[in-house]
Structure 1
Amino acid sequence: MDPLLQQTCQACSIDASPLDARQCGELQSQIPEWQIIEHDGIMKLQRSFEFRNFHQALAFTNRVSTLAEDAGHHPVLLTEWGKVTVTWWSHRIKGLHHNDFILAARTDEVAT
């Protein structure tokens, strides 16, 4: 099992520091299909998932929404015909936290 899947998300306080590039690189190696992007000066994790139709894309979106609600941590979800783009980051600290990598791995799991 993926080591990230075995971990539990921890509450992220406002004074927590975002992960640095080295830490992000180490964690990203466990979820290689995810990209680290920068948008508005904030580092984020992003991946697009492809589906055969809109119905499957929407069903996946709903599974990710359940995952997000359970964790109390919410991504940006862009649902299109045959495609869903998921973007995780920690809004409170304006960057990437360990939780984002855990939830990216769990997103991969609900995609299968």
Structure 2
Amino acid sequence: MTKLAEMQCEACQVGAPQVSDEELANLIKMIPDWAVVVRDGVMQLERVFKFKNFKLAMAFTNALADLAETDFHHPGILTEWGKVTVTWWSHSVKGLHQNDFIMAAKTDELLISGK
């Protein structure tokens, strides 16, 4: 499979299929720092990013906001002193779509690229 961070999100409509159990097992291996969580019956991807201070956490949050706007797919973001919790899921399918894994990989790339 193509590196997730290099892939583009596809338009996701209500009724689009969620990832299958087999797809989930394969995709999660590609983003090993992310956890699958279930909230209110909705499967989501979540990761906590740690930073030395609030300013660095905010810079990451702002870079993530720019990424989300560019790809028109928006996460849950909780910014606190020294950490940012990011949660990806597709509202339209009430769960996980391949787009969420793509965006999680792109979120990881923000740390590598320093944006």
| Category of TM-score, reference length = shorter chain | over 0.9
Count of residues in correspondence between the two structures: 111
TM-score (norm. length: structure 2): 0.93
1:90 aligns with 2:84: no
What letter is aligned with 1:40? D
Counterpart Cα distance in 2 of 1:28 and 1:41: 19
Over residues 18-73 of structure 1, what are the superposed CA-to-partner deviations in whole Å (9 max), with x where a residue is unaligned? 11222111001000000011010000000000000000000000000000001111
TM-score (norm. length: structure 1): 0.96
Q: Secondary structure at the match of 2:73?
A: coil
What letter is aligned with 2:6? Q
Which structure 2 residue ranges, 5 or more long, are not aligned?
none
Displacement after TM superposition at 1:15 (Å) = 1.7
Which structure 1 residue ranges, 5 or more long, are not aligned?
none
What letter is aligned with 1:104? A
Counterpart Cα distance in 1 of 2:111 and 2:4: 16
Counterpart Cα distance in 2 of 1:9 and 1:26: 18
Q: Secondary structure at the match of 2:38?
A: strand
* Residue in structure 2 matched with residue 29 of structure 1 by the alignment: 29
What letter is aligned with 1:32? P
Counterpart Cα distance in 2 of 1:51 and 1:71: 25
Q: Secondary structure at the match of 1:46?
A: strand
* Residue in structure 2 matched with residue 77 of structure 1 by the alignment: 77
What does 1:1-112 correspond to in 2, within 5 Å?
Answer: 3-112=3-112
Superposition CA RMSD, Å: 1.0
Give every structure 1 segment of 4 or more consecutive aligned residues whose post-TM-superposition deviation is greater than 3 Å. Answer: none
What letter is aligned with 2:28? Q
